[in-house]
């Protein structure tokens, strides 16, 4: 799908943790790469192209990249959308509208301290759930995906 560089890269859905849990808990053979990031997080910004590249390489496979922005809901129009447009982010982006980390963080992973970036790799049908609280590379993501097949 072509993207007009003068238009916003895409629309961003604002979701709650229950919406994300529904997506995470589907009994699907799709491998989900769910990255938690923010526009103000330098390591997050540096790794975003790695996720877009994974999405492109695996476009015909059962692999889905989901970028979950941890930016504030009130910054959607003024910060997040211009950021995505400037960097031409291609992966699906949602904004997680939650403020109580003690409530939502353990629902993602008991291993998560709340630090960013963080990535969850899931394949429910194959019972794969891997969590990483660090910046990831394309090579690492590719090896993770290949190990699941």
Distance CA 18, CA 38 (A): 20
Q: Has residue 4 got a pLDDT over 70? A: no
- Enumerate the domain spans of the chain: 13-132
Per-residue pLDDT, 76? 95
For the domain made up of 13-132, the CATH class stated in words is alpha beta
Q: What is the pLDDT of residues 12-60, one digit of tens each?
A: 999 999 999 999 999 889 999 999 999 999 999 999 999 999 999 999 9
Tens of pLDDT, residue by residue over 47-102, are 999 999 999 999 999 999 999 999 999 999 999 999 999 999 999 999 999 999 99
Hey, what's the torsion of the CAs at 22, 26, 31, 34, to 10 degrees?
Answer: 10
- pLDDT for 134 equals 97
Residues near 81 by Cβ (< 8 Å), separated by ≥ 6?
8, 9, 12
Give the strands of the sheet with 63-69, arranged side by side: 13-15, 92-96, 63-69, 31-37, 118-123, 128-132
């Amino acid at each position: 799908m072509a993207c007009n560089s003068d238009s916003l890269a895409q629309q961003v859905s604002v979701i709650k943790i229950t919406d994300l849990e529904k997506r995470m808990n589907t009994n699907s053979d799709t491998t989900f790469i769910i990255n938690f990031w923010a526009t103000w997080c330098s390591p997050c910004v540096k790794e975003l192209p790695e996720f877009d590249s994974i999405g492109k390489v695996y476009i015909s496979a059962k692999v889905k990249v989901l970028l979950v922005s941890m930016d504030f809901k009130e910054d959607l129009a003024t910060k997040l959308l211009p950021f995505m447009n400037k960097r031409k982010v291609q992966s699906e982006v949602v904004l997680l509208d939650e403020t109580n980390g003690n409530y939502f963080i353990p629902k993602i992973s008991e291993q998560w301290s709340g630090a960013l970036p963080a990535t969850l790799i899931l394949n429910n049908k194959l019972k794969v759930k891997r969590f990483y609280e660090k910046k990831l590379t394309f090579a690492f993501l590719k090896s993770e995906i290949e190990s699941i097949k």
